[in-house]
Amino acid sequence: MEKKLIAPSILSANFNNLGADIKMLNESEADWIHFDVMDGIFVPNISFGIPVIDHIAQITPKPLDVHLMIVDPDKFIVPFAQAGASIITVHYEACVHLHRTVACIKEQGKKASVCLNPHSPVSLLENIITDVDMVLLMSVNPGFGGQKFIEGTYNKLTQLKHLIENKNPNCLIEVDGGVNYQTGARLFALGANVLVAGNFVFSSDSPQETIRNLKNL
């Protein structure tokens, strides 16, 4: 049976009461906690950085899924690893020497993941897929929460699943953007392993129930 993991994105959490939201996630069925790190250059938004991850790592036992939406991520892999990241995702579009970047993540003892923006084809991963632990497909244009799901993601997911089955069956597939009960059910059915949900979880009346329902899709 395929893994069905839920990684709530704290980009949508209440930063006036972040400790309480992390406590809520700790008590929920969430598998990972997802961090969208944005630099205002690679994506048109600025979010948070190493200090936030460092502090949250001290108050949660859950793996920290750190998505670096930044230029020149190589500079920051070691600091984010030291801050407590469990999984580090870099963008194919941001890495000049992707094999070197992936190797650096693994040298820190962390899981290495590569992300594709909506316009980037799955074929770009042909020569890196055997080296990564996970691929993250963006199903919205990165930079902001609450965006509408891009329908073409389903076809990309099918292509990616085929590539993984042929070359690296242990590689996980994560999808981020526009996840709800309808899109989530289809994504899991097509072979996704991890769903990132931000606005859908944190704006719901009962985030813990929403997380449980997503896991049971």
Q: pLDDT (tens digit, 9 = 90+) per residue, 75-114? A: 999 999 999 999 999 999 999 999 999 999 999 999 999 9
Q: Indicate if the pLDDT at residue 1 is higher than 60.
A: no
Taking only the tens place, the pLDDT of each residue in 159-217 is: 999 999 999 999 999 999 999 999 999 999 999 999 999 999 999 999 999 999 999 99
Taking only the tens place, the pLDDT of each residue in 25-58 is: 999 999 999 999 999 999 999 999 999 999 999 9
Indicate the pLDDT class of residue 142, thresholds 50, 70 and 90: confident
Where are any strands of DSSP class E within 20-141? 33-38, 64-69, 87-91, 111-116, 134-138
Q: Cα separations (Å) of 40 from 34, 36, 37, 113, 137? A: 19, 12, 10, 21, 20
Catalytic residue numbers read 36, 176
Q: What is the pTM of this model?
A: 0.97
Q: How far apart are CA 99 and CA 104, in angstroms?
A: 9
Indicate the pLDDT class of residue 144, thresholds 50, 70 and 90: confident
**Mean pLDDT for all residues in the chain:** 96
Q: For 5-215, which CATH superfamily applies?
A: Aldolase class I (3.20.20.70)
Q: Indicate if the pLDDT at residue 13 is higher than 90.
A: yes
Predicted local distance difference test score (pLDDT) of residue 143: 78
Tokens in use for 205?
A: 């009346």
Indicate the pLDDT class of residue 2, thresholds 50, 70 and 90: low
State what percent of residues in the chain have pLDDT above 70. Answer: 99
Predicted local distance difference test score (pLDDT) of residue 147: 79
Residue ranges of alpha helices (H) inside the chain are 18-26, 50-57, 77-83, 98-107, 153-167, 181-189, 199-202, 207-215
